[in-house]
């Protein structure tokens, strides 16, 4: 197979960009390993002592998935998934890309019964023997709705790039499938197959057809984020045979069926262009998003598993702090002691869950603790306005009179209640932040994703998805 001859000016990428993309892969591998190392003890513990079956099955499934992701990341394997309705030629497109018929095709619907992967090396001047995994999928309209949604979600989750194959007029079902795949937040190419049967079609006309469908569904902005006219590629993966007239030397004429040449080079070139420009970024982001999702799922299961113990621990700290603050007459010790108590509870909860408190959670937790401690100071001031004397002032002047005792008790009860509520708020906050914040930190998936998104080239396909990925991380 001859290497693709691609424009030389596009290959003149700066060394800085190449090195930056290489660093993304290093960071992504480190982040995925961190998640695997963090939860491996739970998996080992399941072998020696009983564990919640739901947690155990979830843990094993996510760890296995991340192990495969890490392996492909280390091997530099790009995963390209192909979707479409029946009879659009998905398998034919893959066969044409590979240059041999490895996947079955035929006139009957349902030839591809389940997702199937095949290996492919794209030989190009830009990408010498880049290992690629092509994932063929069943037609999205030939399996029941729930199974279809789960299959598409799982395959698109694994993919670094999505090809969506259409042929002829694009239907509303196909447009809806495109919008559903957009939820995976992966770059997408629209592959218009069987162009030999529709020779008058152009990329711009196909894009305008999509715009009309978008207008009917009020999804015009989604379409622009989904793809542009430049991400539409015209191919003829398995051209229909043509009958040709053949004149023999003796003057006789006969008719033969001849297969026109396959038209697939434009798609090969487009894939090569994307992978050269942003392939390692796509691989890194895909692995990081998977690590982030896996960690969010695992931490939620772990928090749920330890919920009864955590509630008891929080209630214990609530009781101790409320009593200590109510009985202590010195205001500054109320605040300082409450602050130390909250920190001790955070540490105890972190040890209970076996999850770290990273810098990201700490920043939010400090705010919660300060609000809790600040409540004590406000209570001091409020009690002084309401009763004329704060608890501290009451002790300083004596509590011999019934009015003094009432003022002291009122301030003490108010402060104890505020202190207890503050500790309960901190306890609930640490549960939320341990569940959601483990992906932050020096090598956390969310941290690395944020760094990559802040450096994306506006010319890349993934740039259009930057806003949505950023919103998921709470960047905007």
* CATH number of the domain located at residue range(s) 9-302+443-473 in this protein: 3.40.50.300
Q: What are phi and psi of 447, to 5 degrees?
A: -65, -45
pLDDT band at 369 (very low <50, low <70, confident <90, very high): low
pLDDT, average across residues 189-210:
90
**pLDDT of 10 over the 50 cut:** no
Q: How many Å separate Cα 99 from the centre of its chain? A: 33
The answer to whether residue 287 scores a pLDDT higher than 90 is yes
Whether residue 350 is predicted with pLDDT greater than 60 in this model: the reply is yes
pLDDT higher at 354 or 318: 318
* Residue 50 vs residue 458, higher pLDDT: 458
Closest to 467 measured CA to CA, from 458, 459, 457, 476: 476
- Mean pLDDT for the stretch of residues 437-465: 82
* Average pLDDT of the residues in 281-285: 92
CB atoms within 10 A of CB 272: 21
Mean pLDDT across 451-463 = 86
Tell me what pLDDT residue 407 has.
57
Longest Cα separation, the chain: 133
Residue 460 is predicted with a pLDDT of 84
Max mean pLDDT range (136-150, 221-235, 386-400): 221-235
Q: pLDDT tens digits, residue range 72-124?
A: 999 889 999 999 988 898 989 999 999 888 776 654 444 555 688 888 887 65
Calpha distance 412→328 (Å, rounded): 8
| Global pTM value | 0.76
474 and 453 Cβ atoms separated by less than 8 Å: no
């Amino acid at each position: 197979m001859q290497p693709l001859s691609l424009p030389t000016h596009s290959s003149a990428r700066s060394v800085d960009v190449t090195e930056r993309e290489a660093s993304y892969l290093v960071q992504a591998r480190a982040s995925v390993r961190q998640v695997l190392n963090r939860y491996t003890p739970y998996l080992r513990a399941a072998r020696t002592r009983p564990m919640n079956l739901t947690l155990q099955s979830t843990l094993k499934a996510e760890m296995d998935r991340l192990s495969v992701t890490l392996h492909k990341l280390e091997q530099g394997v790009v995963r390209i998934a192909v979707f479409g309705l029946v009879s659009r030629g998905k398998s034919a497109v893959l066969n044409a890309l590979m240059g041999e018929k490895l996947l079955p095709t035929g006139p009957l619907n349902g030839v591809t019964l389940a997702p199937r992967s095949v290996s492919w090396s794209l030989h190009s001047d830009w990408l010498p023997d880049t290992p690629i995994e092509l994932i063929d999928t069943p037609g999205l309209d030939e399996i029941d709705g729930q199974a279809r949604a789960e299959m598409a979600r799982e395959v698109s989750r694994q993919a670094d790039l999505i090809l969506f194959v259409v042929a002829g007029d694009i239907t509303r079902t196909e447009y809806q499938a495109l919008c559903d795949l957009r939820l995976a937040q992966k770059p997408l190419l629209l592959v218009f197959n069987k162009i030999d049967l529709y020779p008058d079609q152009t990329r711009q006309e196909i894009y305008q057809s999509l715009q009309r469908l978008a207008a009917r569904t009020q999804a015009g902005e989604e379409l622009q984020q989904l793809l542009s006219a430049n991400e539409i590629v015209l191919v003829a993966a398995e051209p229909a045979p043509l009958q040709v007239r053949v004149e023999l030397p003796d003057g006789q004429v006969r008719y033969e069926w001849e297969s026109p040449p396959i038209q697939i080079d434009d798609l090969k070139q487009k894939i090569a262009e994307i992978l050269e420009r942003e392939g390692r970024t796509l691989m890194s982001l895909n692995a990081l998003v998977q690590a982030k999702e896996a960690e969010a799922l695992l931490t939620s299961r772990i928090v749920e598993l330890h919920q009864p113990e955590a509630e008891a621990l929080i209630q214990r700290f609530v009781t101790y702090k409320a009593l200590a603050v109510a009985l202590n007459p010195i205001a500054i010790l109320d605040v300082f002691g409450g602050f130390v108590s909250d920190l001790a509870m955070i540490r105890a909860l972190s040890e209970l869950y076996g999850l770290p408190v990273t810098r990201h959670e700490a920043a939010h937790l400090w705010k919660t603790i300060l609000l809790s401690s600040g409540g004590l100071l406000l209570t001091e001031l409020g009690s002084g306005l309401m009763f004329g004397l704060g608890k501290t002032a009451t002790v300083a002047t004596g509590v011999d009179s019934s009015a003094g005792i009432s003022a002291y008790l009122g301030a003490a009860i108010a402060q104890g209640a505020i202190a207890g509520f503050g500790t309960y708020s901190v306890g609930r906050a640490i549960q939320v932040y341990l569940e959601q914040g483990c992906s932050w930190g020096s090598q956390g998936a969310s941290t690395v994703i944020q760094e990559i998104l802040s450096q994306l080239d506006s010319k890349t396909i993934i740039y259009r998805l930057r806003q949505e990925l950023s919103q998921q991380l709470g960047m905007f």
